[in-house]
Amino acid sequence: MKISTENIIELTTIEQWTEAFPIMSQLRSNLMIETYLELLSQMKKEGYRLFALLSENKIVALVGLSWRVNFYSKKHVFIYDLVTDASKRSHGYGERLLNFIHVWAKDNGADYVALESGIQRIEAHRFYEEKLKYDKWCFSFRKTL
């Protein structure tokens, strides 16, 4: 019998956030550590939560999310950040982390889990649609001011 050395925890301290930065920066490559910590501190005040999947006590994947309520998705969890360490991809860590969030969200009263993904991330889209059965149902737009 194989003993699992995986664990999912919420990262709540500056030390944990700092430990997560090298992985988060693989997704958010424009961030410097100081900006990351400053924004994360502000985001936490607005309900952002950061979870990590650990394997052998090392962070291998992250998901950042918050609760939202609106007319079209009702009470839901919105995922802003999902990243697996580049050296650990294709081992199922992202899928395990998302499946954890699906159960956690449902147990806490969510009707949906929603996320956005950059247009260029074709492989990620395939992962969400084919493997995890997400529906592609809208476009997201923004305007630089």
Q: Mind listing the domains of the chain with CATH numbers?
A: 6-131 (3.40.630.30)
What number is the average pLDDT over the span 45-54? 96
Q: Report the side by side order of strands in the sheet with 58-70.
A: 6-11, 49-55, 58-70, 74-84, 112-115
pLDDT at res. 5 = 58
Confidence of residue 4 (pLDDT cuts 50, 70, 90): low
Confidence of residue 130 (pLDDT cuts 50, 70, 90): confident
Q: Is the pTM of this model over 0.75?
A: yes
Phi first, then psi, for residue 42 (nearest 5°) are: -65, -45
